[in-house]
Structures are given as C-alpha cells and as structure tokens.
Amino acid sequence: MRLEIERLPKEREAEREQCFEGFWVQEKAKFRYISGQWSWKPVQLPQPWRKTYPVNEETGGVSRTVFLCRDGARPVGQITMCRWWNGFACIERIDVAEKYRRRGVGTLLVQQAREWAKGQGCRGLYAETQHTNVPAMRFYEKNGLSVRGIDTMLYYNTPHRGETAVFYYELFESELSAIGKI
C-alpha cells in the first residue's frame, strides 16, 4: 500500500463518494451509566443487515473540510470535518473502502483530523454514530475517543427510528491540562 492523504478543494469533494460502501450491522450496543461513566457491551443481532448512508450535502451553514486517502490513484478512505459551534472539531463522516478496512486507513484519517483540528484551535474531537454501528464504536475507542453521552430520540423522525445516537469525544492534551486532568 502507498497511502497518501490530500485535502480536497470544494470543487472535487464528489471524489469522496467513491469510498461510501456501507457496512453490515451484526451487533448493537447495550449501554450502562454508572458513577458518571458510560460503558457498553455488544449484543448479537438475530438477522444481520446492510446499512448505507446517503450523501449529505447539508452542513447547516458550517463550512467543511474533506481529506481523501488514496492508495496510488485509488480513493480508499475519506474524512469530512467541520469546526462545531462548541469549539470541537466534528467528524461529520468517515468512510473506508471495505477492502481497506482494518489496515490503518481510518487511523491515518483520524490523525489527519487531529492535526487539522489543532490547527483550527479546536479543543478536541467530536463524533456521533449509532448503537447499531458497533464497528465504528470500536474504531473510535481504539483511536482515543470515548462515549460521553447517548440520545434515544435523535433519529425518531427519520428512517432510522429506534436507533440510539452515541456521542464520542476526545479532549486534546492542552484542554486536559487546563482542567487539571493531567
């Protein structure tokens, strides 16, 4: 593999769609909240199903930044970022081509997101996924983010009704120092 990451100019953002392949939902997370800490365990689903997300061009007026990872000329992963209203860098979307999953592409993209976020003066990273996307939950935790909350109603008026939103955060070291955590 010869991986390179580039920031895509707005006029080339459609190239990221080549990485949107979806995933198999085989498990869901069951949550516990004890002493101010969230934990979860995977629960096997009786019938796996394939989930894909539509291309969402709406960013709520927030400008976004897209990084594309290529193996040679082939797009193999992308991460779409924005600076969120609360001072965090939001991972709006991260996709890795199925053939390239568990090969370090996603981790490279998150590292790029951290660099970008720090350059933007953000306090940390923020990502949201669903309790049915257990691979994403494992991925975020492996890459230093942790569950800081859930929302059982976020998807109520969508085709994803019944799914629980899971919110992941990572505070950067400078922020942890400021609040006396390191």
pLDDT in tens, 17-63: 888 888 999 999 999 999 999 999 999 999 998 988 777 655 555 68
Q: What is the pLDDT of residue 109?
A: 98
For the whole prediction, is pTM greater than 0.75? Answer: yes
Name every residue whose Cβ is closer than 8 Å to that of residue 49 and which is 6 or more positions away in sequence.
24, 25
Kindly tell me the sign of the dihedral angle through the C-alpha atoms of 118, 78, 8, 126.
Answer: negative
- Is the domain spanning 3-178 CATH 3.40.630.30? The answer is yes
CA distance 75 to 4: 10
Pick the more confident residue, 13 or 124: 124
Task: Identify the DSSP state of 152.
Answer: S
Q: Is the pLDDT of residue 68 over 90?
A: yes
Q: Tell me how many helices (H) and strands (E) the chain has.
A: 3, 9
Q: What is the pLDDT of residue 66?
A: 95
Residue 177 pLDDT > 60: no
Identify the pLDDT of residue 1: 83
Q: Which residue has the tokens 């990572």?
A: 170
Report pLDDT digits (tens) over 130-174: 999 999 999 999 999 999 999 999 999 988 899 999 999 999 976
For residue 113, is pLDDT > 60? Answer: yes
As a whole number of angstroms, the distance between CA 8 and CA 168 comes to 25
Residue 180 has pLDDT above 90, yes or no: no
Q: Delimit the domains of the chain by residue range.
A: 3-178
Secondary structure letter of residue 157 according to DSSP:
T
| Average pLDDT value for residue range 92-104 | 94
